[in-house]
Amino acid sequence: MYDFLIDSFYLIGDTATKLFGIALIFLALAFIVKGKKAISALRTALPNTVFNINIMALNLLLLTPVLVWISQLQKQHNLLLIQPDTWQSIPEPLVIFVAVFLGDFIGYWRHRFEHTSFLWPSHMMHHSDANMTWLTLERFHPINRLSTFIIDSTFLLAVGLPPYAILINGLVRHYYGFFIHADLPWAYGKLGYVFVSPVMHRWHHAEEQAAHKTNFATVFAVFDLAFGTYRVPGLCTKPLGVKGQSSASLVAQLIYPFRFSSYKTGAARQQYESKIHAQPTEKTLR
Ligand SMILES: [Zn+2]
Ligand SMILES: [Zn+2]
C-alpha cells in the first residue's frame, strides 16, 4: 500500500546523486567556454543558484511521493486512446523518436498554456531567475511541477506508448532541458531552426516585451517555427528575469500563485503582450 513512499525514497536518493555528476559537467563546460570569467559568473549567479537548490529540494521532498502516487493511479485507470499493440509493429528507434517528438509537441502547447493569465502566476517562478544557469531547470513552483507532470504524462500514456519510450522521452527532455538553460553562447547556425539551442531558450527568458510569448519548445525548434513563435535575433545579451519579481524571496514567490492579485497582474501582462505582438514587426515597418 505504501509502495509509492518506498519508490519515492529511492527516486529522491537517485536524483540527488545524478545531480552531483551533472553539476561537474556544467562546471567544466563553464570553464571551457568562459575561462577565468566563469568564476565571476558563478559568483554573480550564487544567490539565484541557492534559490534554485532550495526549491529543487522542496519539490523533490514534497512532490516526489505525489507524482509517484499520480503515476500509479494513471496506470490503474485506463487512459488509452491508442492501443499499445499499435507500437509493437514499429521499429524501436522510430517509436523513441515519436515519443520525444510528441512529448515536445504537448510540451510546446502546455508551455503556451503556462504563459496565459491562468497559469502564469505559478510559471512566473521559473522566469524570475535573472542569472539563468543549467539549474534554472529545477526552478519551478510546486503547482507548476504538478501541472506539467499531469498534462505531459496523461497525454503520453493515452497514446499507449511503451514504457521504454516514455522513459527515454523523459530522460531526453530532462537532460536536454539542463543544457538549454546553461549559459552557453551556442545558437547552432542553421540547425537552430530544427533544435532548440541554449541561445534560443535564453531569449524565452529575456525581460523584454518582444521576447515574451516566443520560443516555447524544449527540444524541437520546428514547433515554434510552425506556430509563429520562433524568435532568435542573434546572441541574447538582454537582461533576464521578471520585472519586480526577480528579487522576491523564495517564500514570497511560493505564496504568489495563491494571491488573487497575481492573476490580475497576469491578465494585465497578457493584454499588454497581445498588443505588442499585434503590432507590425520592425522588419515589416522598413
Ligand atoms: Zn516560460
Ligand atoms: Zn526555461
Residue 20 lies in a domain: yes
Residue 286 lies in a domain: no
| Predicted pLDDT of residue 284 | 31
- Give residue 46 CA to ligand 2 midpoint distance, Å: 18
- Helix 120-127 and helix 260-278: axis angle, to 10°? 80
- Give residue 211 CA to ligand 1 midpoint distance, Å: 11
| Predicted pLDDT of residue 201 | 97
| Predicted pLDDT of residue 285 | 32
Non-local CB neighbours of 55 within 8 Å, separated by 6+ positions: 125, 138, 139, 140, 141, 250
- Give residue 130 CA to ligand 2 midpoint distance, Å: 12
Which 8-state DSSP code applies to residue 280? Answer: P
- Give residue 1 CA to ligand 2 midpoint distance, Å: 36
| Predicted pLDDT of residue 126 | 97
- Give residue 205 CA to ligand 2 midpoint distance, Å: 6
Convert the pLDDT of each residue in 170-213 to its tens digit.
999 999 999 999 999 999 999 999 999 999 999 999 998 888 88
Convert the pLDDT of each residue in 97-128 to its tens digit.
999 999 999 999 999 999 999 999 999 999 99
Contact in structure between 248 and 139 (CB atoms under 8 Å): no
| Predicted pLDDT of residue 161 | 86
Residue 7 lies in a domain: yes
Full domain range(s) for residue 45: 3-277
Residue 261 lies in a domain: yes
- Give residue 111 CA to ligand 1 midpoint distance, Å: 6
Q: Where are the alpha helices (DSSP H) in 35-189?
A: 37-76, 85-88, 92-114, 120-127, 142-158, 163-181
- Give residue 241 CA to ligand 1 midpoint distance, Å: 11
Say which ligand is closest to the CA of 212: 1
Say which ligand is closest to the CA of 124: 1
- The H or E element containing residue 268 is helix 260-278
Distance, CA of 175 to chain centre: 11
- Give residue 138 CA to ligand 2 midpoint distance, Å: 9
- Give residue 107 CA to ligand 1 midpoint distance, Å: 11
Which 8-state DSSP code applies to residue 206? Answer: B
**pLDDT tens per residue across all 286 residues of the chain:** 567 677 777 777 777 777 888 888 988 999 898 888 888 888 998 999 999 999 988 988 888 888 888 877 777 777 777 777 788 888 999 999 999 999 999 999 999 999 999 999 999 999 999 999 999 999 999 999 999 999 998 888 888 888 889 889 999 999 999 999 999 999 999 999 999 999 999 999 999 888 888 999 999 999 999 999 999 999 999 999 998 888 899 999 999 999 988 888 777 777 666 665 555 444 333 2
Cα dihedral 257, 258, 259, 263 in deg (nearest 10): 40
Residue 172 lies in a domain: yes
- Give residue 177 CA to ligand 1 midpoint distance, Å: 12
- Give residue 126 CA to ligand 1 midpoint distance, Å: 7
Residue 284 lies in a domain: no
Non-local CB neighbours of 243 within 8 Å, separated by 6+ positions: 207
Give the C-alpha separation, 111 to 105, whole Å.
10
| Predicted pLDDT of residue 278 | 56
Say which ligand is closest to the CA of 115: 1
| Predicted pLDDT of residue 171 | 92
- Give residue 11 CA to ligand 2 midpoint distance, Å: 23
Say which ligand is closest to the CA of 139: 2
Say which ligand is closest to the CA of 113: 1
- Helix 92-114 and helix 142-158: axis angle, to 10°? 140
Residue 235 lies in a domain: yes
Residue 117 lies in a domain: yes
Residue 19: helix, strand or coil by DSSP?
A: helix
Q: Which residues of 83-119 are buried (b: 16+ CB within 10 A; e: fewer)?
A: eeeebeeeeeeebbebbbebbbbbbbebbbebbebeb
- Give residue 136 CA to ligand 2 midpoint distance, Å: 7
| Predicted pLDDT of residue 277 | 58
Q: Total structural domains in the chain?
A: 1
**Count of C-beta atoms within a 10 Å radius of residue 220:** 20
| Predicted pLDDT of residue 168 | 92
